[in-house]
Amino acid sequence: MQALDRALATALPAVPRPLVRRFADRYMAGETLDDALALVAALNAEGIRGTLDVLGESVTSPGQADATEREYRRALEALAERRLDSGISIKLSALGLEFDAGVAERHLRAVVECANAHGRFVRIDMEDSRLTDATLGMYRRLRADGHDDVGIVLQAYLRRSLADVHALADLAPSVRLVKGIYVEPRRIAYRDMEIVNRNFTFLLDVLMSQGSYVGIATHDERLVWEALRLVDRHGLDRDRYEFQMLLGVDEELRNILRDAGHRVRVYVPFGEAWYAYSLRRLKENPAIAGYVARDVLGSMIHRRR
């Protein structure tokens, strides 16, 4: 099955754009802010929170970074106007980090100031390991300047993540804990999925012990079970953690967690850069490529019946 998933991921650039869009539609809100706002409103009506993400990363020009900042500011204003329960998630490469760290930090601060004005939370996403130090540095500087409604992401497959958890302990940070999907060399990242899963649980335990608010970002029910075990062991109140899931993935598990009274948040990506986003995500994680392809095929067969 893994070989088939890798073959599907490798073949994706040759797949016609409309077919890739069929793969992507379930996993993104659409191309416009209005699409995303409507989806967040629908999630809120189901008792689920949202996190908006403007698609587009690794920008190469100041103009693109400016446009990303403007779109995030527009999104924050619209969320406040419509009184929707959603924050935002932002990748620093979308603000220019890969060509000018100073430009990226200036844009990030502008977005954070806008979010503060509207009472909204900003999650700084984590990208590949080349950008980890710069991302953590910007996060720490924002916190030092009194911006407490800002969180960070840590990746369980990175060998450095335990050291990062300890280094951030003085901030009691809000952390979204993920497995990690970028392709990294073995010296940087664990490749054995059993080790990644065990490290996820280990890091979650340490974060809870240190008083962090944790966004438990997984669709793996084994890790959900481990998280619930740790929540019980640490005696955490329901306002000290939440489960976070991708749009369109395992909605049944999402609803089970919600119905049990746990906070649940769904990541809602939108924007015109959907095609590059879809190819990159599916190529980075062949298992998702196979999952999506089988899901779409199953839907097609069901409709024909």
Question: Catalytic residue positions?
Answer: 125, 176
Nearest partner of 108 among 157, 77, 80, 143, judged by Cα: 143
- Separation of alpha carbons 123 and 180, rounded Å: 16
* Residue 80 identity: A
CB half-sphere exposure, 141, CA atoms < 13 A: 12
N-to-C CA span, the chain: 26
Query: Cβ(270)–Cβ(33) under 8 Å?
Result: yes
Nearest to 149 by CA among 180, 174, 176: 174
DSSP type of residue 52: E
Kind plus residue range of the DSSP H or E element containing 282: helix 274-284
Cα torsion for 37, 38, 40, 46, to the nearest 10°? 160
Distance between CA 169 and CA 152 in Å, rounded? Answer: 13
DSSP structure string for 185-211: -TTTB---HHHHHHHHHHHHHHHHHTT
Contact 64, 103 (CB under 8 A): no
